[in-house]
Amino acid sequence: MADVEPGARFGPYEIIARLGQGGMGTVYRARDTRLNRQVAIKFLADGFQSRFQREAEAISALNHPNICTLYDVGPDYLVMEHVDGEPLKGPVAADEALRLGAQIAGALEAAHQRGILHRDLKPANILVTRPGAGSTSSPQVKLLDFGLAKPMAQDAAADVTQTRDGTIVGTVAYMSPEQAQGQKVDARSDIFSFGATLYELVSGTRAFDGGSMAAVFSSVLRDEPPPLASPLSEIVAKCLTKSPDRRYQTMAEVRAALEATATTTVVPPDRLASLRAAERPSIAVLPFANTSRDADDEYFSDGLSEEIITALTQIAGLKVIARTSAFAFKGKTEDIRQIATSLGVGNILEGSVRRSGTRLRINAQLIQAIDGTQLWAQRYDREFTDVFTVQDEIASEITSALRVKLAWKGEGTRTHEPNAAAHEAYLRGLHQYRVHEPERFTATERFLEQAIELDPEWGDPHSVLAERYLTVAMFGMRPLSDAIPMARREAQRTLELRFTDPTAHAVLGGIAAVHDYDWQASANEFQQALASGAAPPGVHSGYGFYYLLPLGRFDEALEQHDVAIAVDPLNGWWQARRLVILMCAGRYDEAMAVARHAIASGRADHLHYAVLGQCGFFAGGSPDESLAAAEQGLGLASWHAGLAGLVAGMLTGRGEDERARTILAGMRGGMTAQGMVTYHLVRSEIDEALDWYERDIEQRQPLAAHFAAAGFLTPLRASPRWPALARAMNLPDGSRSVPR
C-alpha cells in the first residue's frame, strides 16, 4: 500500500511518523488514542495478510520481557509495542554479547515452549533498547517480527519462500541449511539462526556472506565460518553445525551453555588466548559413591574425590571443575552428558569407595562425555595408609588417558604427606565445613585442630582454618578481636609450612585490605596468591571482593569472579558475590534480573534477596517487592544486620515504627554499625548514617571499606565529611591513589 501520511487515523490509532520498510510491509510510529501510548503499526504488503490472523492469536500469547508485545490485529496491519532502540549490531565485548545473547535465548525458549518458531531470526529483527538519560539500566533486547512464525506442528516448508522478495540475502544469511532448502524445520532451525546472529554480535561480520544470493546460499549449505577468538566460540560453533542432530537440541540447552560460559566473558584480550588453550582438555570429578557398610564413611569418599580434584589441578593445561560444582550432582542420576554440558567439560571421572577396616577398594572410571564411552577404568585394593599413592596414581593415569602431553611431576609432587590419623581428621573437618551451616563451624574447627595436633607440619588444615576465620569475621559471626588474629595466625603458619600456598596469601590480602587498610600490602599478597596461575576459585573471588571492589574497580572485580566461576560454575557463593558487585557498580536492573532468576531457579540464598531488596529500593522499584525480598532475606540470615537495617528503614517509611524498632533491637555483633548505616541511608538521614559509618571505620569492621565505592553510598560520598573518612581507610579522596 502507499505511504501513510502523519495524522492519518486507522481505528483508534493516529499515525505519527514512518519508521521503515521491510519485505513484509511498512512500519509506522503511532499513538493509541484510547490509552494515550505510543505503538508501532506494521502495514502488511500484499500477499502476507492472509497468513496472520490464524497465527496472531498464538503469537500474542507470548508474554516475555524480551519479546515485542503484539497488541492488536487489523485487516491488513499489526499493532505492536513501540520499542525505542537500535537493531542489534556487533562487535561488542564478550560479556555484553553473552548478556544480550542470553536474553535472546530466553525469549526464543519461551516461544518454543508455546510451540512457536520464529523462522526469521536475524540482527535486523532484534532491537536493543536505549535507557533514558541518567538511567542505570542496561540495554535490553526485544525480538521483533514473528511474521514468519509458525506453530511447530505445521509443515513450515510451504512458506519458506515468503521472505525472499526484497530481503533474500539478509534472510538467507541467517537461515538454517534445512530451511534454506525448503525442508521441514523445528526448534533447531531457530538455534542455527541464533548462532549466526550471535556470531555477528561477537565479530561484527556475518557468519555466511557473499557477493550474490547464490554465494550466500552456498556458504550456508557448505562453508564453516572463520572461528571466533571469543569465549563464546564453542557455543556458536555448535549452534551453526550443519546437521540439526549435532546442534543443541533445545534453546534451554543453549541458555544453559551461555550461563556456564558466563565465566570467561570479561577476560582481557591479552589473556584470552591462554585461557581458551587451558580449557582443553577438561574434567569434572563427581563425588565417589560410598559403598561401605558404615554410612558415616561418606566423609572419606567425599574427601577422596576432593583430593583427586586437588591433584588434577596440578596438571598444567587441564581444566578441572572445582569441588562445589562437581558435588552439585551428588546423589542424582542425571545423564553423564547432561552433567558435562552443565559443567562445560569434555570428561567425567566417577567411582566408588569401599572401606573395610584398614582396607580400601576404590573403583574409578573416566568417561568421554560427548558419547559416553569409557576411556579408562581401574580398581585399586590397598591399605588405608596407601591412600595418597592411590590419589597420585589416579591423577597420573587420567593424564595418560587424556593424552595431556604437559607437565606431570608424578611422585614427589606432594610437598607433605600427613599421617593417616591426621588425614582422617582433616577429611572429617572438611566434610563439616562444606555443609555451610553455622552450627557446623564448631565441629569444623575441632576436627581441623585435631589434624594439626596429630601432624603439626601439615599446612592444609591451617589454610582451611584461615579462610574460615576470615569469613566469620567478614559477616560478624565472631568478634573481630578474636577472628582476625586467628585468621592471620593460621595463614602465617600455613606459609611457614608451604610458602606458596595461594589461599593463605589471599587471606592475608583480604585482612590487609578491609581490616588493616593497607592497600599496598594487600596488592602484594594477592599478587603472590595469583602468581602460580593455578589459584583456586576462592583466591580470584577474594581478590575481586576484598581488594578490587573497595577501590571501585568493578569491571576487574567482575572479571575475577568470572574466572572463579569458570572452574566452579555451580557455586552459588561466587555467583552471589558477583551479584553484590553488580549492585555496588550501580547496575541495578541487571543485578535484579540475576537475583530474580536465581530465586525462580531455587538457587538463591540470603544475598540474592538482599540485592533484590536493596536494588529495588535504590532504583525506585516496587516498594512492596523490595520490602518482601529484604524480609525474606532476613528470614534466611537473621544475623545479617545490613538486611535488618534495610528492612527497618523501609518499614518506618510505611509507618510501621514498632516493627522497625523490634528489628533494630535484635541486631547483634560486628555488623550492627553497618546495619545502622543502611537504616539511616534508607531514611535519607545522611549525618546519622555518617556517624555510624565513622564508628564502623574506628572498629575496623570489614564492611566499612568493602562498600566504600558502592553506588548506593553516593549520598554519603557527596558529604563534606567523606574525604576525612576516606583518608581514615587510606582510600583515594581525590588527591591520592592506591596501588594497582
Q: Looking at residue 75, which CATH number applies to its domain?
A: 3.30.200.20
- Residues forming a β-bridge with 128: 86, 141
Residues 157 and 45 grouped into a single domain: no
- Percent of the chain whose pLDDT exceeds 70: 83
> How is residue 67 annotated by DSSP?
B
> How is residue 403 annotated by DSSP?
T
Across 163-177, 243-257, 484-498, 589-603, the highest mean pLDDT is recorded for 484-498
**pLDDT band of 410, cuts 50, 70, 90:** very low
pLDDT at 549 over 80: yes
Around Cβ 412, how many Cβ atoms within 10 Å? 7
**Residue whose C-alpha is closest to residue 569's, from 358, 311, 261:** 261
pLDDT at 715 over 80: yes
Backbone angles phi, psi at 601, to 5 degrees: -85, 0
Residues 61 and 28 grouped into a single domain: yes
Residue 250 maps to which CATH number?
1.10.510.10
**Per-residue pLDDT tens over the stretch 499-545:** 889 999 999 999 999 999 999 999 999 999 988 667 888 999 999 99
Residues 166 and 248 grouped into a single domain: yes
Residues 23 and 111 grouped into a single domain: no
What pLDDT sits at residue 400? 64
Residues 51 and 111 grouped into a single domain: no
What pLDDT sits at residue 47? 58
Residues 104 and 156 grouped into a single domain: yes
Classify residue 442: in a domain, yes or no: no
**pLDDT band of 141, cuts 50, 70, 90:** very high
Residues 53 and 128 grouped into a single domain: no
**Per-residue pLDDT tens over the stretch 441-469:** 678 888 999 999 999 999 889 999 999 89
**Residue whose C-alpha is closest to residue 382's, from 364, 396, 407:** 364
Distance CA 156, CA 110 (A): 19
**Between 296 and 199, where is the model more confident?**
199
Candidates 120, 392, 455, 501; catalytic one:
120
Residue 362 maps to which CATH number?
3.40.50.10610
Q: Is residue 687 flagged as an active site residue?
A: no
Classify residue 403: in a domain, yes or no: yes
Distance CA 627, CA 498 (A): 48
Residues 327 and 209 grouped into a single domain: no
Classify residue 314: in a domain, yes or no: yes
Classify residue 667: in a domain, yes or no: yes
| N-to-C CA span, the chain | 63
Q: Which residues of 202-222 are buried (b: 16+ CB within 10 A; e: fewer)?
A: bbeebbbebeeeeebbebbee
Helix (H) or strand (E) run with residue 360 in it: strand 359-368
Domain final residue pick, 393, 414, 435: 414
Residue 129: exposed, middle, or buried by beta-carbon count in 10 A (0-12, 13-18, 19+)?
middle
Residues 690 and 590 grouped into a single domain: yes
- Over range 466-490, report the average pLDDT: 86
Classify residue 524: in a domain, yes or no: no
The rounded radius of gyration (Å) of the Cα atoms in the chain is: 29
**Between 562 and 721, where is the model more confident?**
721
What pLDDT sits at residue 48? 56
Classify residue 104: in a domain, yes or no: yes
Domain final residue pick, 240, 265, 290: 265
The number of distinct structural domains making up the chain is 4
pLDDT at 76 over 70: yes
Domain final residue pick, 35, 55, 82: 82
Residue 638 maps to which CATH number?
1.25.40
Distance CA 688, CA 693 (A): 9
Residues 34 and 92 grouped into a single domain: no
**pLDDT band of 493, cuts 50, 70, 90:** very high
Classify residue 406: in a domain, yes or no: yes
Domain that holds residue 723: 572-728
Residue 730: exposed, middle, or buried by beta-carbon count in 10 A (0-12, 13-18, 19+)?
middle
CB distance 401 to 366 below 8 Å: yes
- Percent of the chain whose pLDDT exceeds 90: 31
Residues 92 and 185 grouped into a single domain: yes
Classify residue 449: in a domain, yes or no: no
Residues 68 and 92 grouped into a single domain: no
What pLDDT sits at residue 434? 64
